[in-house]
Amino acid sequence: MSEQDPFKKVVHRLEPKKRPVVSTSIDDAEKLEELSQVAPSVNTQFFGDGPQYVEDVETDWDGVEIEKSEGRKWLIISVCAFSFFFVGCMLWGFFLSKNPQSEESAGMKSEEVVVELSYEEKSASRKEAVERYLSASSVDEKAQYVRDAERVKPLMEEYYREHPLQAETLSEDYLEEPMMGKDQVLWRVRTREAKAGQAPYLILETSDAGESLVDWEADVVHQPSDWERFIAVRSTQPHTFRVFLQVAQLSGFHGYEFADYTKYRCFKVTIPGRDDYLWAYSEVGSKLDAKMLYMVTAGGRRNIHSAKKVHAILQLRFPENSQSDMCVAIEDLVQAGWLR
């Protein structure tokens, strides 16, 4: 064996990088590992440029192919949705072109909603409604110009059976002024001379469209219950009345069932058109008593002992085995004021 010449020039050759070979089996991997140890000349001699088992590395990564298929699916869905939307718009446009009246009617309706009459037009509507209301000679005719006619008309029929309806004329001293109702502006219209049991003015509401209606219950001061019968039988069941109310803790009467001055607060109760009155009581410190005080003092702005009469709708009842026909309990404060 000859020794190598130490002065012989050694040439180091860099082989180009080979494409990695991917195999799907352990045997193929071992065989490739052995082939990688063979000299390049031998490898090339038997296998040419080397084995090509895999054309694309992505074939072994199922997740990548799934992402590609998912993307294609959503692309198809998006295209279909856009197509349906486009076709729908075309059909809607075709429908409108064939039915121009529907679009015009929709425009007219929207204009009707936003149109509001002027003050002069609404005032004329109120005056006309008042004149027709006063001149009506039948319940059916009068009911056309009242608020909440469906509920009120049966009350009108019952009322006019005992108080015959008489037509009235519009007064020359016609005057109207706004007032605040529960949730809207109402109009107080002075149109007649004052009569016993009848207000000299009417209360009206006027809509944006110009329809004006009279509050009939406030006009005749309609009493839901019979005042005389309530007192005569000393009913222990609650009865509802439209009343004038005054605090009478100092000037009133404490007796019989309500003799304890520290337990009961006294009010003087009257109704329009009558001179008689009742002493009505609330229990001091109760929720009902707090509501009564808040109403008669206008939320603390008025002296509790003021002589001013307050309008209210109350439920009253006599105690069991009542010893007096003038002392009643206040069952409930239905509302402040007479307007429903």
For residue range 87-120, what is the model confidence (pLDDT) as tens digits?
A: 777 776 666 665 655 445 545 544 445 467 888 9
Backbone angles phi, psi at 312, to 5 degrees: -160, 160
pTM of the model: 0.61
Residue 17 has pLDDT above 80, yes or no: no
pLDDT at 328 over 80: yes
Residue that wins the pLDDT comparison between 231 and 43:
231
Q: What is the DSSP code string of 70-118?
A: HHHHHHHHHHHHHHHHHHHHHHHHHHHHH-HHHHHHHHHHHHHHH----
- pLDDT given for residue 174 in this prediction: 85
Mean pLDDT, residues 37-52 taken together:
48
Of residues 15 and 268, more confidence is placed in 268
H helical segments located in the chain: 26-35, 40-47, 62-98, 100-114, 119-135, 139-143, 149-162, 216-220, 227-233, 287-296
Considering 41-45, 81-85, 183-187, 325-329, the range whose residues carry the highest mean pLDDT is 325-329
Write the pLDDT tens digit of every residue in 257-306.
999 999 999 999 999 888 999 999 999 999 999 999 999 988 888 888 78
Q: Which two tokens stand for residue 111?
A: 């204009």
The residues, any chain, with a CB within 8 Å of residue 194's CB and separated by 6 or more, are: 200
Q: How far apart are CA 155 and CA 336, in angstroms?
A: 21
